[in-house]
Structure 1
Amino acid sequence: MTSPRLHAARGPAGAAVLDLATGRWHVLDPIAAALFDLPADAMERAAAIEKATARWAATGADPDRVRADLTRVAADLDHLRAGRPVHHMPPDPPPTVRFAPTGRPFLRGRAAAVIGLAAALLLLRYLPIRHVVAVARAATRLPGRPARVRDAEAVLAAVRAAGTWWPGRVACLEESLAVHLAAALTGHSVRWVLGARFKPHGAHAWIVADGHVIGQDENDRVWPYLSVLTTGRFEQVVE
């Protein structure tokens, strides 16, 4: 059976890669990001490494050492790819980030939030991330319309209210997945996004509705994160 594919996104600081086979994140600096994109053809790869070696040698670096280091890193990245296809997420325009939800939960949203949160906690506890993503994508096929900001914030408020009764961890991954599922149950479509940032390194999960990132922590204003994997009716992923 073919291993699940990799999801990657590029930014000025490098690339972030999510391996759905293991659930592990790999944050690559610009040099490693360029090596990650090397062509499969051996001669083209060798030529690309030689070109990079020449650039570093022009700055006074030892070309033999540079060539050996680049070849080793390229081999490590080949091991990560293992012949699997990579989905490259196209760059997103800078989003509008909303830090303070103003929506209030409504009655149907409260029931959906309890179901969505319970489902998210169970899925993330017992299933590999690739299966969790498959369930999240399946939820986007439920009938509904794109959520407005106030719709998504109302569902988020209901999920957070439900989370106060849960004695365990409800962090960004659990909460965002719960909002995604609960919104689908109330006839609304939001985007569930997994991403990463570089300085400081960190992975994150969030919800987007009507072009807005919903309900972020007031104490975590470091943005943007790179969107690496997104599930939603309008997700854009290219080979």
Structure 2
Amino acid sequence: MSSSRLHAARGPAGAALLDLATGRWTALDPIAATLLDLPAAAPERAAAIKDATARWAATGADPDRVRADLTRAAAELDRLRAGRPVHYLPAGPPPTVRSVSTARPALRDRATAGIGLACALLFLTALPIRHVVTAAHLAARLPGRPARVQGADAVLAAVRSAGTWWPGRVACLEESLACHLAAALTGRRLQWVLGARFAPHAAHAWVEADRHVIGQDEHDRLWPYLPILTVGDSNG
């Protein structure tokens, strides 16, 4: 996977881009999202902007403002892409979202959770995100089987238990990467996912097993998120 690749996903409310070269997220409104595949040649580009302007004007939008917004957004996207490819994650059926498990982690899971969390914190502190993603891909190649929901719950419970001993930040990015790494150390593979949502825009990271999003707090996270980058098995 190219470390300079742009990862993107589209939804009804717009699109989101993750630049692996910088770790920067960019949110695009529905108008700007239509420009993701804008032609490079000037005549085709002008025609595409004209067509997009007409479509939005037909919905009641001010054509002059739409045209100006599209022209500005196109220039910003050109600077962001700088000739690099954009990788679109294929849309799939929405996963089932599971709430936080109250299961008590086993001793083996506690031990590997501590190692996984330490590695995740070290990677995210010392490495650019593109190298962190590379490390996650390497972990996904370790021998093992796709984790099942109960096993994934146990890994997450162990990571959260280990996180109580860490005085710093253990948010979704650190926690999910720690789960991915800890599971790999015990011969289980979890899918690590980076994604975004709109209205309000926010980035998020999580793990999945058997098409289940593992361990989300229903009170402070709203779904659905659009997955933009995935590492590991899809588990069906």
Q: Which moved more, 1:217-226 or 1:18-27?
A: 217-226
For 2:118 and 2:65, the matched residues in 1 are separated by 53
What SS does the aligned partner of 2:104 have?
A: coil
SS in 2 for 1:215: strand
What TM-score does the superposition give when structure 2 sets the normalisation length?
Answer: 0.93
Q: Which residue of 2 aligns with 1:137?
A: 137
Q: Secondary structure at the match of 2:47?
A: helix
Structure 1 pair 59–111 and aligned structure 2 pair: CA distance change class (3 A): closer
Contact conserved, 2:190 with 2:232, CA < 8 A, in 1?
yes
Using the size of structure 1 for normalisation, the TM-score is: 0.92
Greater CA deviation, 93-102 or 196-205? 93-102
**1:230: how far off?**
0.5
Q: 1:120 is paired with a residue of what secondary structure?
A: helix
The count of aligned residue pairs is: 235
Tell me if 1:159 matches 2:162: no
1:235 deviates by 9.1
Runs (4 or more) in structure 1 with deviation over 2 Å come to 39-43, 53-69, 233-236
Any unmatched runs of 5+ in structure 1?
none
In the TM superposition, what is the alpha-carbon distance from 1:162 to its structure 2 partner? 0.7
Contact 2:99 2:216 in 1 (8 A): yes
Q: For 1:111-150, what aligned pairs fall within 5 Å after superposition?
A: 111-150=111-150
What is the CA-CA distance between 1:47 and the residue it aligns to? Answer: 0.9
Name the % identity.
75
The answer to whether the 8 Å contact 1:39/1:45 transfers is: yes
Q: How far is 1:199 from its partner? A: 1.8
Equivalent residue for 1:35?
Answer: 35
Cα distance, 1:65 vs structure 2: 4.8
Q: Residue 78 and residue 149 in structure 1: after superposition, are their counterparts in 2 closer, same or farther (change >3 A)? A: same
1:88-113 deviation line (CA, Å, top 9, x unaligned)? 01112111111121443112111110
Output the CA distance in 1 between the equivalents of 2:230 and 2:171: 18
Q: Deviations over 1:126-175 (max 9, x none)?
A: 10000000000100000000100010111111111111111111000000
Amino acid of the residue matched to residue 196 of structure 2?
Answer: A
> Is 1:226 the counterpart of 2:226 in the alignment?
yes
Unpaired segments of 5 or more residues in structure 2? none
CA RMSD in angstroms, aligned pairs only: 1.9
The aligned amino acid for 1:48 is A
